[in-house]
Amino acid sequence: MTRRLTVAQAIVGFLKNQFTERDGKRHRLFAGCFGIFGHGNLTGIGQALQQNPDFRYYLARNEQAMVHTAAAFARATNRLRMLACTSSIGPGATNMITGAAAATINRVPVLLLPGDIFARRKVAPVLQQLECPGSPEVSVNDCFRPVSRYWDRIQRPEQILTSLPEAMRVLTSPAETGAVTLALPQDVQTDALECPEEFLEDRVWRIPRPRGDRDAVKCAADWIRSAEKPLIVSGGGVLYSEASTTLARFAAKTGIAVVETQAGKGALMFDHPQLLGAVGVSGTPGANILAREADLIIGIGTRYSDFTTASKTAFQNEDVRFININVAEFDAFKHAALPIVADAQSALEELTSALGDYYVPTEYAARVRRFHQDWDAETERLFNLRHGPPISQGEVIGAVNRSSKPRDVVVCAAGSLPGDLHKLWRTRDSKGYHVEYGYSTMGYEIAGGLGVKMASPDREVYVMVGDGSYLMMAQEIVTSLQESQRLIVVVLDNHGFASIGSLSQSCGSGGFGTEYRYRHDGALSGKTLAVDFVANAASMGANAVKVRTSEQLESALSQARTQAQTSVIVVETDYSESVPAYESWWDVPIAEVSKMPAVQAARADYEKAKKDERYFLAPEKSRERV
C-alpha cells in the first residue's frame, strides 16, 4: 500500500513516528521542528508542518539560535530525543552553519532541513542562488558538508526512502552523531511520490551499550593494580551513558581520584570524596598536580581537547600510560592508549568486577582527601571575596550557585565564564551543568537555555552570559516568552570581552581591542560605552533589573523564581578581577618578532613553557596489552 504525499509531507510523517529505546525505556525521538519560513521552504516543509499539528512547530528569531536550542535540547535529554530545524535557502540556511559546527564538534544530534535551489534548474538563477561557473549543482548548502556527520541533497522524491533511514542511523549513533543535513530543493519539497505505508510506521532505534573486549578489560585491570598514582578523567561520554552512579561507586570502591572535563562536569556530585574538580587549563590545583604526577590516566568518554590536556602539558610523568574507555574508536585510541571501545557504564561495571577488592595506596588516598578539602576552602574564599562593587565574577557564580536548587541547571558557553564555572560551580545533579565549550560559541547561552528548559520544564534554568555574548544573540528571549518557557538570565556586564582581554594582557598586548570604548584620537580608548541591558531586555518583554552587590543579586534571583516569565538580571563585574589559573598552561602562540617589550617577554615565557608539550607514543612496556 502507498500514500500519495509531497516529499515534505512524507518527511514530516516519517519523523513523527521515530523512537529511541535504551535499557527498555522508549522515547519519541523528535519533539518537533524549529523553523523560519521563506520562499525556499514555506510551501514545502512549512505546508507539511501546518498539515501535521501533532508534530509541533516552533518559531525562532534566528536560524543559528534555533540550532543551538535544538542541540541543547538533545544534550539535556542525553541524546535520546532531538529537534529538527528548517530554513529557506540562502541567508537562512547559511545562518545555521555555526550551529551545525557546534553540534558536530560537541557530538550532539540535530537534524537540519534547509531549503535549496531548484533541482530542475530551468528558472535558474533563482533568488539567493550562488552561481558557480564550475558546477550548476553547487549551492550555499554545500558549506554544510564539513560540519555535518551526514549530508545529502534530495534531487528526486524517492531518494528520501533511503536517505532518511541513513540520517536516523547517524543521529542515533553514540559514536558518530552530530549535525545531519538534508538539503531540500524547493521544487522537490512540493513534488509528490507514492510513499509506502511501511515507511511511515513506527520505527524504534535501539541505543546499544557495547561491551569492552574481554582481554582489554583484563589488561586494564592489571595496569590499574600496578599503578601507584592512577587518575580518572571523566568526560561527556559518562553523562551520555547515564553512568554517573556507576562511576561514583567505582571511584568510592577503588579510591581513584576523578577529575572532570567541561563536557563531563556533573558526572560526580561536588562533595564526592574522590572528586578533585576540573582538570586542565581551567583546572583546580589538586586535579592538575595529580594529573602531572599520574602514572596511569583512565580516560572515560573524553576526547582529550587541548583544554583538558593543557595543550599536552598536563601529564608529565615520563612513565604515564593511558587506558581509554570510549564508545568512539577514534577517541579510544588517542594518546597511544589501551583502547576499550565500549559504552562507559558497561565498561565500568566490567572493570569493577575485574578489579575485585583493589584500593589505591594509603598515601595517595590521603593526598586526594587533602586536595578535595583544600579546593572546597578555596571555592568558599572566591565566593565570598566582598570585592567592589563592581563585584567579581567568582562572587556572581557563588550567588547563583547558592540561590539555585539541586536539580536546577546552569547554562553558559563562551568567554571567561565557562572556565570559572568549570572550576567553581558545585554540581548537585548530573544534568545541573550545561556549558557549551567544544566550540565556545558566543550567543549559544540564551538559545541553549531555552533548549534545556524545553527538555526539562520542571527544572529552573539559570543562563549566565557575558555582555559580549548577550549583544551577539539575545533575541531568543522573545521565543522563551512565546513558548512560556521561563528562564533566569544573569548578564555580567564588564564592558568588553573579559576573557580575550585577559588573554591579551598575558600575551603582552595589553587588552588591545577588547574593551567597549568610544573612539578617541583614532583609537578605541575613550570613555566606556554605556549599554542599557535592562532597557533592552524589557523591550523584548522580560522582567529586567540591575543589581550591584551579591546580596542584591541573591534577592533578585529569589524574586525571579516567583515570576511567570523570563527575567534578566544585569550585574556589573570587575573586568580585571578574575579567578586564578592553577598549575596549568595553554598554548597560545605569541609573535616571534615584535617591537613591544611586553610581547618580547611573553614570547620568552612561551618558549620555555612550550618545552613541556609531549607526544604520547607508547613505550614498549605499554604495548604489552594482553
For the record, the C-alpha cell of 406 comes out as 539541586
Tell me the DSSP string of 180-192.
Answer: EEEEEEHHHHH-E
**Mean pLDDT along residues 65-81:** 98
Least Cα distance to 284 among 500, 580, 588, 612 occurs for 580
The average pLDDT across 554-581 equals: 95
* Each residue's pLDDT tens digit, 487-531: 999 999 998 888 888 888 889 998 899 889 999 999 999 999 989
**Which three cell numbers mark 346?**
558497561
Residue 531 · residue 513 · CB < 8 Å: no
Q: How far apart are CA 232 and CA 247, in angstroms?
A: 10
All cell numbers assigned to 108: 550532539
- Whole-angstrom Cα distance, residue 585 to residue 435? 21
Q: What are phi and psi of 30, to 5 degrees?
A: -105, 125
The 10s digit of each residue's pLDDT in 96-132 is: 999 999 999 999 999 999 999 999 999 999 999 999 9
Average pLDDT value over all residues in the chain: 96
Burial profile 463-497: b = 16 or more Cβ within 10 angstroms, e = fewer: bbbbbbbbbbbbebbbbbbeeebbbbbbbbbbbbb
Cα–Cα distance measured from residue 176 to residue 621, given in angstroms and rounded to the nearest whole number: 32
Q: What is the DSSP letter of 436?
A: -
* Residue 8 CB-density burial (10 A; 0-12 exposed, 13-18 middle, 19+ buried): buried
- On whether the CB atoms of residues 453 and 516 are closer than 8 A, the answer is no
Is the pLDDT at 618 greater than 80? The verdict is no
**Pairing outcome for strands 30-35 and 543-547:** unpaired
- Quote the pLDDT of residue 220: 98
User: How many other CB atoms are there within 10 angstroms of residue 90's CB atom?
Assistant: 23
Query: Cell digits for 602?
Result: 611573553
Instruction: Indicate the pTM of the whole model.
Output: 0.97
Element containing residue 171 per DSSP (H, E): helix 160-171
Instruction: Take residue 10 and report the three cell numbers written for it.
Output: 512524507
Q: Is 206 helix (H, G, I), strand (E, B) or coil?
A: strand
pLDDT of residue 626: 41
In the chain, what are the domains? Answer: 2-206 (3.40.50.970), 214-375 (3.40.50.1220), 384-572 (3.40.50.970)
Reference 239, options 14, 399, 409, 87; nearest CA is 409
The three-point CA angle 119-123-127 to 5° equals 90
36 band by pLDDT with thresholds 50, 70 and 90: very high
25-28 and 18-22 as β-strands: parallel, antiparallel, unpaired?
Answer: antiparallel
pLDDT, average across residues 47-60 = 97
User: What's the pLDDT band for 621 if we cut at 50, 70, 90?
Assistant: low
- Residues in contact with 394: Cβ distance below 8 Å, sequence separation at least 6, in sequence order: 382, 383, 385, 420, 424, 577, 579
> 183-222, pLDDT tens digit by residue?
999 999 999 999 999 999 999 999 999 999 999 999 999 9
- Can you read off the three cell numbers belonging to residue 71? 542541540
pLDDT at 576 (0 to 100): 83
Maximum CA pair distance of the chain? 78
pLDDT of residue 41 exceeding 80, the answer is yes
**What local confidence, expressed as pLDDT, does residue 624 receive?**
52
pLDDT at 392 over 90: yes
Instruction: Return the pLDDT at 435.
Output: 98
Residues composing the chain: 626
Tens digit of pLDDT for each residue in 271-290?
999 999 999 999 999 999 99
Please name which of 91, 87, 92, 183 lies closest in space to residue 137, comparing C-alpha atoms. Answer: 183
In terms of DSSP H, where are the helices of 41-90? 47-51, 63-76
* Measured distance CA(276)–CA(266) in Å, rounded: 12
What is the dihedral sign for C-alpha 600, 601, 603, 604? positive
pLDDT, one tens digit per residue, over 588-605 is 999 999 999 999 999 999
Helices and strands (H, E) in the chain, number of each type: 25, 23
- Compute CA 365 distance to the chain's CA centroid, rounded to the nearest angstrom: 32
Q: Is the peptide bond before 389 cis (omega within 30 degrees of 0)?
A: yes
Distance (Å, whole) CA 556 – CA 491:
13
DSSP state for residue 594 in the 8-state scheme: -
pLDDT at 314: 98
| Neighbour-count burial of 615, counting CB atoms closer than 10 A to its CB (0-12 exposed, 13-18 middle, 19+ buried) | exposed
pLDDT, residue 205, reads: 98
Q: What was the pLDDT predicted at 619?
A: 57
Among 106, 105, 113, residue whose Cα is nearest residue 76: 106
622 has a pLDDT exceeding 70: no
- Residue 26: its pLDDT value, please? 98
DSSP-derived letter for residue 147 is G
Partnered with residue 28 across adjacent β-strands are 19
